[in-house]
Amino acid sequence: MNFRRLLVGWAALAAIAWASAATAAEPVRLSFWYPVDVGGGLAKVIDGLVADFNQAHPDIQVAPVYSGSYDVTLQKIQAAKLGGALPDIAVTEISSVPVLGALGAAQPFDDLIAGAGGKNFLEKFWPSMLLNCRYDGKVYGVPFQRSTPVMYYNKDAFAEAGLDPEKPPLTWEELANAAQKLTQREGDRVTRWGLELPLEAFNWFYYALVYANAGEVLSPDGSKVLWDQPKDIEALQFWYDLVNKYKSTPAYTPWSDGPQEFVAGKAAMIWHSTGSQAFMRQHVKFRWGLGRLPKNAQFGPPSGGGNLMLYATDPARRNAAWTFIAWLSDAPQAARWSIASGYLATNIASWDLPEMQTLVKQRPEVLVTKAQLADAKVEPASPKYAPARDILNALIKDVLANKVPLQSGTQQAVASANEAMAKQ
């Protein structure tokens, strides 16, 4: 071993690194970031879709990039905005629309829509899905992988408890009754919960309950939260009662435990994403069904999932990106994506396509999801909502666990949230 050999080794390493870096500097393409949960299947579907697009459009080559979870994708985009390496198109969670719009990372594209038929283009999508696509009066997103919460229920358990397996509860009263009947105990320990409402960072089921009660969560200008309004308080009170009065629901179920608990028979009814259907289908061994989220005043499941958003600013890339967006959200692709992923087909026409008709015949429960699509409500979003979301999450956890009284706790949370949002 002498210096010369060391230098040669160094040179070799440098050469390898340089060569790799050089091959990395490939010609300009459209980059498409997507946060789909992978685990084998779905990444391949995206790859397949993109490959088909690339083949049909030789002048535009799209490179799909898995960008992490919704949160991580948002962070990467924000960081990229600072550093300047934004993707051209990305699928981002719907509540990020105002955030990215205000930041100037995402670009509005009303002009491109006008060129594609204006209102006629927009009318291809379920109106409820378009609620989370705008910011500041402009269109920033096209619905792509959307979901609503839905109720999974154990038909066998229903039959056992003397309930009609074909008639899932449709009102809060029916829900509470069913939940109580379905809860099983062994002495003090609960062996099966009647109903589980998992809680995750987005507070989906709080919104579900408030909307079902015809309440509102966020003021129209996005600056104040409305959790202390009577209808919102009633909604949280109902959840509280399910846990502490009817004792049919645990105080806290982590989001990802939900499907597992249902499959294991530890929960007879559970609210979860339409996206979990595939999991249920694969693992459930008893008769099960899908039901709409019960109403108190109206049917109003909150919206969820991601939109296609445009980030490119260069006119040529922008037009190319738009071509991709328009293609991907078109009926055949929407149908294909929906069938593979369990996300809802946001394009109305896709439901009439033969492949979707076949799906409906094979799985009639899918019609429940279609009904929810029609009724879906907006997911609360504003550029400054993020800290309020966390405050609400803490409030729900504390109220359900009896650590904080409902009324005064909510007042305090509202005050903190409004203050936090004002600071942004």
Q: Kindly identify the residues of this chain, within the stretch 90-119, that bind another protein according to CB under 8 A.
A: 99, 102-104
**Quick one: 231 or 247, whose CB is closer to another protein?**
247
CA 6 to CA 404: how far, in whole Å?
Answer: 67
Residues 224-263 binding another protein (CB under 8 A) are 252, 254-261, 263
Selected range binding another protein among 32-40, 160-168, 240-248, 310-318, rule: CB under 8 A: 32-40
- Residue 144 C-beta: closest distance to another protein, Å: 14
Whole-angstrom CA distances from 414 to 48, 120, 182, 236, 409 are 46, 40, 35, 14, 9
Q: Which of 92, 147, 296, 372 binds another protein (CB under 8 A)?
A: 147
Residues 344-383 binding another protein (CB under 8 A) are 383
**Quick one: 28 or 201, whose CB is closer to another protein?**
201
- Residue 330 C-beta: closest distance to another protein, Å: 23
DSSP reduced 3-state for 151: strand
- Of the candidates 381, 388, 389, the residue with the CA atom closest to the CA atom of residue 416: 388
Any contact of residue 76 with another protein (CB under 8 A)?
yes
CA 77 to CA 80: how far, in whole Å?
Answer: 5
Contact in structure between 311 and 106 (CB atoms under 8 Å): yes
For residue 363, how many other CB atoms are within 10 A of its CB? 13
Residues 292-351 binding another protein (CB under 8 A) are none
- Residue 413 C-beta: closest distance to another protein, Å: 11
Number of residues lying near another protein (CB under 8 A)? 75
Contact in structure between 417 and 409 (CB atoms under 8 Å): no
Any contact of residue 283 with another protein (CB under 8 A)?
yes
- Residue 75 C-beta: closest distance to another protein, Å: 5
Any contact of residue 409 with another protein (CB under 8 A)?
no
- Residue 354 C-beta: closest distance to another protein, Å: 27
Q: Which of 15, 201, 214, 422 binds another protein (CB under 8 A)?
A: 201
To 5 degrees, how large is the angle CA 285–CA 291–CA 294? 140
Q: Which of 78, 229, 244, 418 binds another protein (CB under 8 A)?
A: 78
Selected range binding another protein among 168-176, 287-295, 331-339, 398-406, rule: CB under 8 A: 398-406
Contact in structure between 348 and 126 (CB atoms under 8 Å): yes
DSSP reduced 3-state for 222: coil
CA 332 to CA 338: how far, in whole Å?
Answer: 10
